[in-house]
Chains A and B, each alone.
Chain A
Amino acid sequence: MDIVLSFYQGLLVVLEPQNLIYCFIGVLLGTFIGVLPGIGSMAAISMILPLSFSLEPTSALVMIAGVYYGAEYGGSIASILMNIPGTPAASITAIEGYPLAKKGRAGVALFSTTAASFGGGMIGMIVIAVLSPSLAQLALSFGPADYFAVILLGLIAASVVSNGGALRGIAMVMTGLMLGTIGIDLTTGDLRFTMGIPELRDGVHIVIVAMGLFGVSELIASIRSNATGKAMQAIDYNDFYPSRAEWKSLFGPILRGSTIGSFFGALPGTGQTIAAAIAYAIEKRINPLRKKFGTGVVPGVAVPEAANNSATQTAFVPTMTLGVPGSPPMAIIIGALMIYGITPGPRLLTEEPDLFWGLVASFLVGNIMLVILNIPLIGIWVRLLQIPYKYMYPTIIVLICIGVYSLNNNVFDIWLTLIIGAVGYLMRLYRFEPAPLLLGFVLGPLMEEQLRRSMLLSRGDPMVFLERPISATLLAITLAILIFATVTTLRGYRLQRNMKRQNQTRQEGMNP
């Protein structure tokens, strides 16, 4: 009953005209950026952050969250019509969506993804409303050592699944932690690694790091991939709504996708792409139409969309209740909240109920707005995709520059963005994923503080991490993940070596 009442309170907060407007701006911008191929929600959020700082925290959070889940709706449009995923998670949607569009059923595919996204979003919202209060209650008993262990688990879990492999992922997370120490040491007040540059005293602003690593580098990479006009499948507006049989075939996949998505979203560190991939893989085994998967079936587009949207919502659970990001974009949101002086954690729910429940209720409002944006107004987005990218990217670069400058009205920030953007693009080329680095960068100062506190409380005995049951369990899970990652990596090497050896023997056999 409590939850329903709090939710109602939150709804009242969101329905205030000002919050309603920012929620709409958020989902609109999110869809817009999601539609643009190659530019994901990380870049989208970092671009909107500078604009949000002048707002009230609740409006800002509602807007940023809207960008985040709006991008997932928009991401499926390009992946269905052009086979180019607008966001990474939408690449799973393209597996069934693009074949459907080629069959002339693009409308049905778009409608089904919107329905599934809405279903997933709503189930995710229910999960966050039910789960957060009890998780926050549990987290109140967390000591510093437990927090340290939660953060470590989140960081490791997020980095072992990164694209470049577990080794590079963990190296990036650790590099992020290391770079996070630049600036004033909050405990002692000493300056660290500022190289005598006064602007570095307060550390590097999270917006600049995110803008450089994601905004600038994704922009550079997207110029060429979007330069050649890709063939777009047409939408037949007479065949937009699924048939009755297809409607029926949607329910099971949406429910299953949302359940899997909610679970993986709520795990610290794992994001919506993993959720969508796993949900699709499972559905491919159990769906009645499984034999037709891959040729363009309606349940196949629904599952990953339901999963990635529910994961997008439930990623807020660890973010808001523990202060540990559920996915990389959540790290930026934590960073933004900290700028407002709000530290996400177990006390947030009781100390800032309007903020938390307003956010949860905004998922309902925002998802309804997105359905309107994506079904009756789908034509607008399709037309947007037809605007040549050569007009888009020079405009975006100006927006990035203005956004960065307006943080502190300081040109130094623009130079920093330039450097980090260059590094970000090189990292991309060299298969070093930037997302773990950003996670580490945001959580570094927090982790250091928890480490110091636990050592202080234990009088310098590091065994404290193993003596407390919560932290010992979390560290054991972390260790298990690390062992699993090492074993799979080593097995990969052995497979490679065997393949090479076989190739060699085959070649030797051919030319004796």
Chain B
Amino acid sequence: MEKGKPDRTPELQDISTTDASAPAEGKVPSRSGIVGGLFLIGLSLIFIIGGFDLGLGIPTRLGTGAFPVITGLVVLTLSVFIFFDEIKGKGIAERPDWIGFVAILAAIGVFGLSAERFGLVPAAFLAVIIASLPDRSLPIIGKILLAIFVSAVSWLLFIELLNLPFKPVTVF
């Protein structure tokens, strides 16, 4: 996408690029439908079986399980189509960024682990450091400065100004 093509924007490309054409820049071939289809088949089966256990009720008084079973059956049918659709042809997908994926999720996870145990300031500090790890253009000292800045501002904004129920730092 670096060499901007003014007449074809990313959005329009997604709509117009059919599976037969070559993958565009930043896209990779994928068989996403197989994985996605299988996942949806599994998920819908859980809701169908669970729905039967909850009870379907009678038409006049639909039971707790009726709606999950109805929607589950539709999802099941559609996901079978999705599965076979992708077996026939090759799809394309966005090129994944696994490093960013892991860094962001790890940042959220660390924030979750430390927010109550250590307080907001350390949690925000750690989350910023971890989230910024994949970016090599920012030197470690820059990351630390950014983390100090963000945790200080969130202390002022969320605890002092908005009174959110965080503790700035929990002392053991």
Residues of A within 8 A of B (CB): 51, 83, 85, 88, 91-92, 94-95, 98-99, 102, 163, 167-168, 170-171, 174-175, 177-178, 181, 185, 187-188, 190, 192-193, 216, 219-221, 223-225, 227-228, 230, 273, 277, 294, 388, 390-391, 393-395, 397-402, 405-406, 409, 411, 414-415, 417-418, 421-422, 425, 427-432, 444, 448, 451-452, 455-456, 459-462, 492, 495-496, 499-500
Q: Enumerate chain A residues within 8 angstroms of B131, measured Cβ to Cβ.
A: 393-394, 397
Q: Enumerate chain B residues within 8 angstroms of A456, measured Cβ to Cβ.
A: 60-61
Name the one of B20, B82, B124, B150 contacting A499, with C-beta atoms under 8 angstroms.
B20
Tell me the minimal C-beta distance from B35 to chain A in angstroms.
7
Q: Are A394 and B78 in contact (CB under 8 A)?
A: no
Interface of B is mostly: helix
Which residues of B72-128 are within 8 A (CB) of A?
72, 74-75, 78-79, 81-82, 85, 89, 91, 93-94, 96-97, 100-101, 104-105, 107-109, 111-112, 115-116, 120, 123-124, 127-128
B1-31: CB near A (< 8 Å → 1, else 0) gives: 1101011011110110011100000100010
The 8 closest A-B CB pairs, nearest first, are: A460-B59, A430-B32, A414-B112, A91-B9, A460-B60, A83-B4, A394-B131, A171-B78
Tell me the minimal C-beta distance from B29 to chain A in angstroms.
12
Q: Enumerate chain A residues within 8 angstroms of B63, measured Cβ to Cβ.
A: 188
Q: Does B71 contact A (CB under 8 A)?
A: yes
Q: Are A181 and B47 in contact (CB under 8 A)?
A: yes
Q: Enumerate chain A residues within 8 angstroms of B112, measured Cβ to Cβ.
A: 401, 411, 414-415, 418
Q: Enumerate chain B residues within 8 angstroms of A181, measured Cβ to Cβ.
A: 47, 67-68, 71
| Bound CA–CA A88/B4 (angstroms) | 16
| Bound CA–CA A418/B109 (angstroms) | 7
Q: Are A398 and B128 in contact (CB under 8 A)?
A: yes
Known: A175-B44, A220-B100, A397-B104; 4 extra A-B contacts, CB below 8 A, are A395-B128, A402-B124, A421-B105, A429-B32
Q: Are A451 and B67 in contact (CB under 8 A)?
A: yes
Q: Are B75 and A178 in contact (CB under 8 A)?
A: yes
| Bound CA–CA A190/B67 (angstroms) | 13
Tell me the minimal C-beta distance from A357 to chain B in angstroms.
29
| Bound CA–CA A374/B67 (angstroms) | 48
* From A51, A187, A277, A390, residue with most partner B Cβ within 10 Å: A390
Residues of B within 8 A of A (CB): 1-2, 4, 6-7, 9-12, 14-15, 18-20, 26, 30, 32-33, 35-36, 40, 43-44, 46-47, 50, 54, 58-65, 67-68, 71-72, 74-75, 78-79, 81-82, 85, 89, 91, 93-94, 96-97, 100-101, 104-105, 107-109, 111-112, 115-116, 120, 123-124, 127-129, 131-132, 134-135, 137-138, 146-147, 150-151, 154, 158, 162, 164-166
A–B complex contacts, Cβ < 8 Å, 25 sampled: A95-B9, A178-B72, A190-B54, A223-B134, A225-B26, A227-B137, A228-B2, A230-B2, A273-B11, A393-B131, A397-B108, A398-B124, A398-B150, A401-B124, A402-B124, A414-B111, A415-B112, A422-B105, A430-B36, A451-B67, A452-B61, A455-B62, A460-B59, A496-B20, A500-B20
Q: Are B32 and A431 in contact (CB under 8 A)?
A: yes
In the complex, what residue of chain A is closest to B120 when comparing beta carbons?
A402
Q: Enumerate chain A residues within 8 angstroms of B32, measured Cβ to Cβ.
A: 429-432
Q: Are B135 and A223 in contact (CB under 8 A)?
A: yes
Q: Are B137 and A390 in contact (CB under 8 A)?
A: yes
Assuming the contacts A181-B68, A190-B54, A430-B36, asked whether A294 and B7 have C-beta atoms less than 8 A apart, the reply is: yes
Q: Are A394 and B4 in contact (CB under 8 A)?
A: no
Q: Are B108 and A421 in contact (CB under 8 A)?
A: yes
| Bound CA–CA A432/B33 (angstroms) | 9
| Bound CA–CA A492/B120 (angstroms) | 53
Q: Enumerate chain A residues within 8 angstroms of B47, measured Cβ to Cβ.
A: 178, 181, 193
Q: Are B107 and A174 in contact (CB under 8 A)?
A: no
Q: Enumerate chain A residues within 8 angstroms of B36, measured Cβ to Cβ.
A: 168, 427, 430, 432
Tell me the minimal C-beta distance from A407 to chain B in angstroms.
11
| Bound CA–CA A430/B92 (angstroms) | 8
Q: Are B104 and A219 in contact (CB under 8 A)?
A: yes
Q: Are B30 and A95 in contact (CB under 8 A)?
A: no
Q: Are A401 and B123 in contact (CB under 8 A)?
A: yes
In the complex, what residue of chain A is closest to B135 when comparing beta carbons?
A390
In the complex, what residue of chain A is closest to B28 when comparing beta carbons?
A429
Q: Are A167 and B64 in contact (CB under 8 A)?
A: no
| Bound CA–CA A450/B150 (angstroms) | 47
Assuming the contacts A175-B75, A425-B101, asked whether A431 and B62 have C-beta atoms less than 8 A apart, the reply is: no
Q: Are A401 and B108 in contact (CB under 8 A)?
A: yes
Q: Are B20 and A178 in contact (CB under 8 A)?
A: no
Q: Enumerate chain B residues within 8 angstroms of A220, measured Cβ to Cβ.
A: 97, 100-101, 104
Q: Enumerate chain A residues within 8 angstroms of B120, measured Cβ to Cβ.
A: 402
| Bound CA–CA A455/B60 (angstroms) | 5
| Bound CA–CA A193/B79 (angstroms) | 21
Q: Are A406 and B164 in contact (CB under 8 A)?
A: yes
Q: Are A401 and B115 in contact (CB under 8 A)?
A: yes
Name the one of B1, B30, B59 contacting A430, with C-beta atoms under 8 angstroms.
B30
Q: Are A178 and B44 in contact (CB under 8 A)?
A: yes
| Bound CA–CA A188/B66 (angstroms) | 12
Assuming the contacts A225-B1, A402-B158, A415-B112, asked whether A95 and B6 have C-beta atoms less than 8 A apart, the reply is: yes
| Bound CA–CA A496/B89 (angstroms) | 9
Q: Enumerate chain B residues within 8 angstroms of A427, measured Cβ to Cβ.
A: 36
Q: Enumerate chain A residues within 8 angstroms of B111, measured Cβ to Cβ.
A: 397-398, 401, 414
